[in-house]
Amino acid sequence: MTVTKSKQNKVFIFDTTLRDGEQAPGFSMNIDEKLHFADQLVKLGVDIIEAGFPISSPGDFEAVKRISERVKGVQVAGLARANFKDIDVAWDALRYAENPRIHTFISSSDIHIQYQFKKTREEVLAIAVDAVKHAAKYTSNVEFSPMDATRSDWNYVAQMVEAVIKAGATTVNIPDTVGYAIPSEFHEFIKFLFNTVPNIDKAIISVHCHNDLGLATANALAAIEAGARQVECTINGIGERAGNTAMEELVMALKTRGEKFQVYTDINSKQIMSTSKLLTHITGVSVQPNKAIVGANAFAHESGIHQDGVLKNAMTYEIMKPEDVGITKSTLVLGKHSGRHAVIARLNSLGYNLTDEELERFFKLFKVLADKKKQIFDEDLEVLVGEAVYKMKGRYKVTNVQISTGMYSPPMTLVTIKDRYNDGVETFDVAHGNGGVDAGINAVKKITETSAKIESFNLVAITGGSDALCEVTVTVVEEVNGRQLKVFGNGVNIDISVAGILSFVDALNKLEYKKQRNHIGEKIEAKL
Ligand code: KIV
Ligand code: ZN
């Protein structure tokens, strides 16, 4: 149903995939990946992109700056603790944005105030007010968050909210930092703030919910019913620990149950699926098949009774149309003889509009695959887009793999790798192992002299048949200067062993980026 739009019933979507999402272990992205992702968020129609936490690392600073310079028609936020230095650095990165927002925060719960800060409530309140006043000197777009609000004294939070609005905050965000709230109680809390804080109408009330109890989306919806008009969320629900409110869930709940909520968002829901896929391509982390809205089974009907009903009328068991989230089914089979136009048209209908340069790279891969595989499905196209457009250009590039194995001969793999940090010099080595992949990974280890270890190895066939593309995702860990770094690597190939080797090298590239970005060995200023 359509909701009549007004200023009062718009819910602002604040996307924090690049900040809260990216800070979760294994989800780090390099700058090019962040820029691609920010472009996609603009297409999706988010109102605010939280691009990073500028003081936390040189990489975060650079990403916030570059995103600020690049994206138009959207607000760009940068996170800063409630101190002048964080705020100054955040502003240095954000100042290039069309509409910059400083997001500053300090905890309001006694648990944090006493044990983490060793301060009094009065001192923390004064710090919050000073920080907001300082940020407001740079921009009128200031957001404040009392961290761990849901485990705080409600009256103290109300006092803080009133004081920061008076100091210049135009958005006040109520975080459920540890995912402790339950919907009825969170609803009551937000209502309490609306009834208690005298100047609350001068700011937009936002919520930021974590999913530790699996309630992040439910809590955000309960807060909207109580009057909140901004939700902080992430694509696929990624984020610290169990993650944040999943944007796709929130947006589709508001859309599907418009009659109940009577609010709207400016999200173009048809871009949801491609945004979700882009994130999985970039991070190498897939969503579980039963994930609401974007999981592979979210619109699949298995039981006979359900299939029968859906064939007669989709409304029997489908509350949303797959097309509304950007899932389109093709009747067109692509292959070796398909013309460029047909392939580009199919890519467009899947939500991918590639530049000429990206198309060049895409078609090179398409040709290689089409020579090996008769029919190319949508899932194959999506993987190729991931490889051609979003795959990180890291230090190492695999230029050749040769595997020799058999039932009675010991597996042996030769790998050749180009090192971009060493004038593109190519080095090859051969190793044995328990199978072609293991031998290949041993060869990569010899060439790169890495101490990284594979923690987990997952393989999926993208499409059916023995000529299916295989996707391998590995979790790789490395101990660097006493810190354990963890990344995911992802590799796709028609050959299982090659996909495994590519995934390991992808992980090594991410580790390399992580080490540089945080200047491991130097002090990192802040990490939440
Ligand atoms: O979870 C949290 O409290 C946060 C704040 C910085 C908003 O991420
Ligand atoms: Zn958070």
pLDDT in tens, 36-51: 999 999 999 999 999 9
Residue 147 Cα to ligand 1 middle (Å): 6
Six-digit token string for 119: 């301060």
pLDDT digits (tens, 9 = 90+) for 448-460: 999 999 998 988 7
pLDDT band at 290 (very low <50, low <70, confident <90, very high): very high
Question: Does 528 have pLDDT greater than 70?
Answer: no
Question: Does 23 have pLDDT greater than 70?
Answer: yes
Is residue 200 within 8 A of residue 163, CB to CB? The reply is no
Residue closest via CA to ligand 1's atom 1 equals: 177
Average pLDDT of the chain to the nearest whole number: 91
Highest-scoring range by mean pLDDT, 169-178, 361-370, 377-386, 508-517: 169-178
Residue closest via CA to ligand 1's atom 2 equals: 177
Residue closest via CA to ligand 1's atom 3 equals: 177
Helix count and strand count (H, E) for the chain: 17, 14
Six-digit token string for 268: 């173009």
pLDDT number for residue 262: 97
Residue 158 Cα to ligand 2 middle (Å): 20
Query: Which ligand is closest to the CA of 56, given by its number?
Result: 1
Residue 154 Cα to ligand 2 middle (Å): 19
Residue 177, C-beta contacts closer than 8 angstroms, at least 6 positions apart:
147, 148, 149, 150, 151, 208, 210
pLDDT band at 520 (very low <50, low <70, confident <90, very high): very low
**How far is 181 from 434, CA to CA, in rounded Å?**
48
Six-digit token string for 165: 């609005």
Q: Which helix (H) or strand (E) holds 317?
A: none
| CB-defined site of ligand 1, < 6 Å | 20, 79, 105, 145, 147, 173, 175, 177, 208, 210
Question: Does 302 have pLDDT greater than 80?
Answer: no
pLDDT number for residue 517: 65
Residue closest via CA to ligand 1's atom 5 equals: 147
State which ligand 1 atom lies nearest to the alpha carbon of 173: 7
Selected residue with higher pLDDT from 523 and 171: 171
**How far is 310 from 313, CA to CA, in rounded Å?**
5
**How far is 108 from 100, CA to CA, in rounded Å?**
25
pLDDT number for residue 56: 94
Residue 208 Cα to ligand 2 middle (Å): 6
Give, rounded to a whole angstrom, the gap between the first and last alpha carbons of the chain: 41
**How far is 267 from 12, CA to CA, in rounded Å?**
9
**How far is 354 from 442, CA to CA, in rounded Å?**
36
Q: Which of 81, 57, 68, 73 is nearest to 34 (CA)?
A: 68
Is residue 437 within 8 A of residue 462, CB to CB? The reply is no
Residue 55 Cα distances to 33, 58, 86, 125, angstroms:
20, 7, 6, 22
**How far is 71 from 233, CA to CA, in rounded Å?**
19
pLDDT number for residue 28: 84
State which ligand 1 atom lies nearest to the alpha carbon of 19: 8
pLDDT band at 346 (very low <50, low <70, confident <90, very high): confident
How many of the other CB atoms lie within 10 Å of CB of 357?
10
274-300: average pLDDT = 89
Listed range (128-142, 280-294, 473-487) with the worst mean pLDDT: 473-487
Six-digit token string for 381: 């196209």
pLDDT digits (tens, 9 = 90+) for 368-400: 889 887 788 887 887 788 778 766 568 899 999
pLDDT number for residue 295: 92
pLDDT number for residue 524: 44
Question: Does 523 have pLDDT greater than 60?
Answer: no
79-104: average pLDDT = 98
Question: Does 81 have pLDDT greater than 50?
Answer: yes
pLDDT digits (tens, 9 = 90+) for 117-127: 999 999 999 99
Question: Does 331 have pLDDT greater than 60?
Answer: no
The pTM for the full model equals 0.82
pLDDT number for residue 518: 60
Query: Which ligand is closest to the CA of 207, given by its number?
Result: 1
Query: Which ligand is closest to the CA of 238, given by its number?
Result: 2
Q: What domains sit in the chain, N to C, each tagged with a CATH number?
A: 7-283 (3.20.20.70), 300-391 (no CATH), 394-518 (3.30.160.270)
Residue 354 Cα to ligand 1 middle (Å): 35
pLDDT number for residue 522: 42
